[in-house]
Amino acid sequence: MKVVVDEDRCCGHSTCATLCPEVFTLSDDGFAVVTVDEVPAEFERVVHEAVGNCPERAISEL
């Protein structure tokens, strides 16, 4: 699976990076960035959780 962050919607709450630092990090400006091309299978469940917990709904699974 793939995951993307809508840069226009992200407000830098960092929920995703807290839940799954293996897939998400924060830019120097404090906004979420996806660090992998494909989400490893062992992180799919927690990435799905991050998608559902993003306050701005800025993360999408592809």
6-54 pLDDT, tens digit per residue, is 999 999 999 999 999 999 999 999 999 999 999 999 999 999 999 999 9
Q: In the prediction, which pLDDT does 40 show?
A: 98
Distance CA 26, CA 10 (A): 11
Give the predicted TM-score (pTM) of the model.
Answer: 0.94
Residue boundaries of the structural domains of the chain: 3-61
Domain at 3-61: CATH architecture:
2-Layer Sandwich (3.30)
DSSP state for residue 43 in the 8-state scheme: G
Contact 23, 54 (CB under 8 A): no
